[in-house]
Structure 1
Amino acid sequence: MRSGRFAVTAELNPPDSADPQEVYDAAVVLSSVCDGINAVDASGANCHMSSVAICALLTRAGYEPVYQVSCRDRNRIAIQGDLLGAAAMGVRNVLCITGDDVTAGDQPEAKRVFDLDSIQLLHTARIMRDYGVYLSGR
């Protein structure tokens, strides 16, 4: 983006296994056609490898991941911890999303959290980045 070019990203569908090779194989294909790789957060309201783990694997392999974080499954404490952890692993790009409703997935009885909405999540990420504080002010 600093170069003035339009950035093109693509979603990496997270695997249903703990095999990092699945992430690396998908990243090779995606990186040949895009600038950034989105680590999807429980796409389709289904359980998959976590987006934080995918970001860690991609960063370690030299890619520039986009960490997708959803409001659906975590409260503000967990979200802030995940944002902090992602930053500690070198993740510099975040995409804040509401998240698919759980009825779209294969576990429709799962509880929705939505402690924050996507606008509040954007605000949270911004104050953590710009001021180094949590929502609590600490």
Structure 2
Amino acid sequence: MEKPLYEKKGLVGYDYRNYEACQSCQYKERCTKSQKGRSIFRHVDQDFLDTIDLQTELNRDKYKLRQIIIEHVFGTVKRGWEAYYFLTKRKLSVSGEIALSFLAYNFRRAITILGPGEILRRLREKRDPAMA
């Protein structure tokens, strides 16, 4: 039987239990050590989370490629630049802070790949003549 929506260890979901059925079940000893029977907690969005897990399993090669390409950036910003925490509060300012971190990361990569001379040449090329 389904119990109403509630919070358990910070998670919101449903608690399913049917102790009467557990008492007559032949697999009770293998299923649970509880004398009363088994209780199953499911997150309110568990169906969606299961779908994500299935998609990840079906696209394991894409997931591995993402880890190779993207996760390196987060690791570099976090550990290489000692950005373990945000200096600001609120979503808007934290978004700006992380955007600046990734802008600096991308700019640093461009300098490494192209070199400072090529970066300056391209910036001069794009400069608006009205600003000169």
Same topology, TM > 0.5: no
TM-score, normalization: structure 2? Answer: 0.20
TM-score, normalization: structure 1? Answer: 0.20
Q: Greater relative contact order: 1 or 2 (C-alpha under 8 angstroms, separation 6 or more)? A: 1
Larger radius of gyration: 2
